[in-house]
Structure 1
């Protein structure tokens, strides 16, 4: 019975590909992916800056170790550098914050001494660790991570730094402001005031020192796609509406209506669209509408924008061992992580740059990181305006007016109509129940209708690896396995298990 079931997957990102892979390997013959764009990969997107390969989308394998399926596949396809494969690398548990060598510059054009501001970095790390504890302890003193960090930093600074001069104390608080902007990028949130304190600890990290794909993340997609039966994906085929719960039709209870008018009947549909798209289009995308508790969870979960601005230089203005550059504004000791005047001060949200390594491969390329509404505004500017603003910024922070970028390339995830942002985070008032609601298939348990008509996958449906590629991949497998076990429980012969 299972092998004859018609399954349509909406979206050819990593979760859709993973689901198709698993179903095809289990002997399902009628699997089809509908992809709105002309390419596979979704938020995995590799581009070029001159001769360099750069990641417009997903950047790292977070936690490259045996528990991470993305790492295991990348290793199997031989897509990684030898050092990423070493046991030492896999054993390093950095808790999501790699120990990168920093260069820190201030808005008065000084390169700061790391020793002077180390206490601020240490305090911030402690506060982030404590933020993650409330989820398991219950009872949160503040609604959001931002309020907790600011109030505690203020209190501890008054106690622990009372004997240092006012200028240094002020500078350290400005460093905390910078670190809040870093966290906005990590979480994909407009501000840490949007991230729920009670749910912050739901996210789990895996051991392993984050690594990248020398040939580009899309190599993973190409390898996975090459193992799918040809013709399984229809590109440039956007879905207008999923008609489900058609009680008259015992066979093929789901009809997928495409933008071009095509109607596809199926037994099951796996929806893998990004949460940003779901937030914007859920009311048009489903007939009947989604149940209320599912809608409330879609609203409570956050989905923000984190963009990159790649900047190439003729020669480096940072130290040879530097891996990350922080830009500290000296007027931010009130610890702000969003700008009241976005149009005039959007650039202040850019926390700094990561250095693309190794230099032999990339030359002198930095990747600037900017999240939130400032990031969304940046997308609307011309490339010339972005280049000009970045150049002015570097002149100001280095005190060197001769540094000139060779070329600039930026991502624009907010204005991408099929993603509407970057990735998910737990919003205020969010709980583990919301993530459970996100992955619950329709119709709901206890309904008389045919079960598992609409299934949900994608990073925003993973209970603890949301916002990651491995989370997205695992959810695709999860929903495929849900269908495989459904059919093996009602059919006499169990379909073969996937080889993945």
Structure 2
């Protein structure tokens, strides 16, 4: 059944123990790996950020024999992909799926890394309303109604102005008082874009590209891909960049671990960090780029992971919870990919932002109560908005913005300051593969 594009659970963050990092990643200043010798001096390239885009850029440059160093503020690599193993199995608390394997560059990367994939079936959920499982007929009827709504939104989107929101369109074509439609919006719109309908541009709804195929999760976690990319690279962890001084002659980076000089720099920090202005640029970024940063949206998708001694839920990949007070709109059955009795709850937009104020204990208790479940044997709760090195999960086209803003965000400033990251990819924003593509794009710009 055709629906809106499936990239909804793509990004988030946390901390891996240093022991889980691959050899070749360290916080010391010593170079890692060998680079081809050359009589000509190599350009010094610094990549800010060891997320997927930064690692993709650094890998491409290093393989071409360039002198490249990655500076990472966290004490781990991966950025908004974060594989946590504290519950005894790998769980991705950020990006978790490869959305559409056909012609997706992450498919080849996963093959190289030997990473197994398992498909998640989002189209046959089990849905609970007021603690009661709805019949398959009611569920399928709800999905059919949602399909009709998305079809009705299409012409409204084509005619919409820059200042119209998805909420405006939904008000015309959907009964927003219907709890089942509210659930569809929460799972298919808010979960998809990590933003509420009143934040999202109606004009640009569904403008992003999409690869063919299903949605595949990595049982071993995205760490398999990031570690594969990072092998042999010079990566300096716990190195927070505070200021980027750029000129026609070079770039100087001021960090918490001293200064770094470079011929060129690729900035791959999240849009949320750019919005916060925690890194100063001297001279300041061009007005056009700064305006694009301010107009674009940066959404939030959080997870509540619960591990139980025994499964008590139905045999389905996805479980939906209907109701305005539900602490999560959807749960992923961890048995399908982790071979453990796990449920991964998802919540996005303002609901996620408001609940970040909860303690871990209260956040878990809410989900347990909603499920009428026994106490879990372990749990994990993400707070991406509170993370100073993320400030949210991934970008979206907000009311008043457009994909042109993402193009502008990705444009270099002069010859020495380049930008990558999912928010610079107007075709595949908010995806891990979009981040990867952007890093390769900027590396190729340098390589000419």
Please give the range of the TM-score, normalised by the shorter of the 2 chains.
Answer: 0.7 to 0.9
Q: Confirm or deny: 8 A CA contact 1:301 1:434 kept in the other structure.
A: yes
Write the distance in 1 (CA, Å) between the matches of 2:87 and 2:138: 38
Write the distance in 2 (CA, Å) between the matches of 1:431 and 1:12: 27
> SS of the residue aligned with 2:395?
strand
TM-aligned CA deviation for residue 21 of structure 1: 1.1
- Residue-by-residue CA offset, 1:111-166 (whole Å, 9 max, x unaligned): 2113135333222223335546666x454597111221232113xx9xxxxxxxxx
Report the equivalent of 2:96: 59
- Residue-by-residue CA offset, 1:348-372 (whole Å, 9 max, x unaligned): 352131112337x432211111112
- Residue-by-residue CA offset, 1:181-200 (whole Å, 9 max, x unaligned): 112122111x1111101122
Write the distance in 2 (CA, Å) between the matches of 1:240 and 1:17: 20
Q: Which has the larger radius of gyration?
A: 1
> SS of the residue aligned with 2:302?
strand
User: Residue 417 of structure 1: which of 388, 403, 415 is its match?
Assistant: 388
TM-aligned CA deviation for residue 314 of structure 1: 3.0
User: Residue 148 of structure 2: which of 84, 102, 126 is its match?
Assistant: 126
Q: Do the aligned partners of residues 255 and 104 (structure 1) sit closer, same or farther apart at CA in structure 2, a change above 3 Å counting?
A: same
Report the equivalent of 1:495: none
User: Residue 470 of structure 1: which of 433, 437, 441 is its match?
Assistant: 433
User: Residue 112 of structure 1: which of 134, 149, 166 is its match?
Assistant: 134
Q: Confirm or deny: 8 A CA contact 2:327 2:347 kept in the other structure.
A: yes
Write the distance in 1 (CA, Å) between the matches of 2:333 and 2:86: 14
Q: Do the aligned partners of residues 392 and 357 (structure 1) sit closer, same or farther apart at CA in structure 2, a change above 3 Å counting?
A: closer
Write the distance in 1 (CA, Å) between the matches of 2:410 and 2:156: 24
Report the equivalent of 2:44: 6
Two-structure CA RMSD over aligned residues (Å): 2.4
Q: Do the aligned partners of residues 352 and 2 (structure 1) sit closer, same or farther apart at CA in structure 2, a change above 3 Å counting?
A: farther
Which structure dedicates a bigger proportion of its chain to helix?
Answer: 1
- Residue-by-residue CA offset, 1:24-47 (whole Å, 9 max, x unaligned): 12222x211111111111111111
Q: Do the aligned partners of residues 122 and 2 (structure 1) sit closer, same or farther apart at CA in structure 2, a change above 3 Å counting?
A: farther
Q: Confirm or deny: 8 A CA contact 2:87 2:379 kept in the other structure.
A: no
Matches within 5 A, 1:267-346: 267-281=263-277, 284-320=279-315, 322-329=316-323
Write the distance in 2 (CA, Å) between the matches of 1:77 and 1:116: 42
1:390 aligns with 2:367: yes
Report the equivalent of 1:31: 68
1:348 aligns with 2:326: yes
Write the distance in 2 (CA, Å) between the matches of 1:127 and 1:299: 31
TM-score, normalized by length of structure 1?
0.77
> SS of the residue aligned with 2:70?
strand
Using the TM superposition, name which of 201-210 and 467-476 deviates more. 201-210
Write the distance in 1 (CA, Å) between the matches of 2:430 and 2:153: 18
Q: What runs of 5+ residues in structure 1 fail to find an aligned partner? A: 85-96, 158-169, 333-346, 396-401, 444-451, 486-500
Write the distance in 1 (CA, Å) between the matches of 2:331 and 2:426: 30
Report the equivalent of 1:357: 335
TM-aligned CA deviation for residue 16 of structure 1: 0.8
Report the equivalent of 1:456: 419
Using the TM superposition, name which of 119-128 and 434-443 deviates more. 119-128
Q: Confirm or deny: 8 A CA contact 1:121 1:175 kept in the other structure.
A: no
Write the distance in 2 (CA, Å) between the matches of 1:134 and 1:78: 44
Using the TM superposition, name which of 455-464 and 193-202 deviates more. 193-202
Report the equivalent of 1:210: 215
User: Residue 349 of structure 2: which of 372, 375, 383 is its match?
Assistant: 372
Q: Confirm or deny: 8 A CA contact 1:2 1:484 kept in the other structure.
A: no
Q: Confirm or deny: 8 A CA contact 1:8 1:34 kept in the other structure.
A: yes
Q: What runs of 5+ residues in structure 2 fail to find an aligned partner? A: 1-38
Report the equivalent of 2:27: none
Write the distance in 2 (CA, Å) between the matches of 1:270 and 1:138: 37
TM-aligned CA deviation for residue 203 of structure 1: 1.2
1:255 aligns with 2:278: no
Q: Do the aligned partners of residues 269 and 53 (structure 1) sit closer, same or farther apart at CA in structure 2, a change above 3 Å counting?
A: same
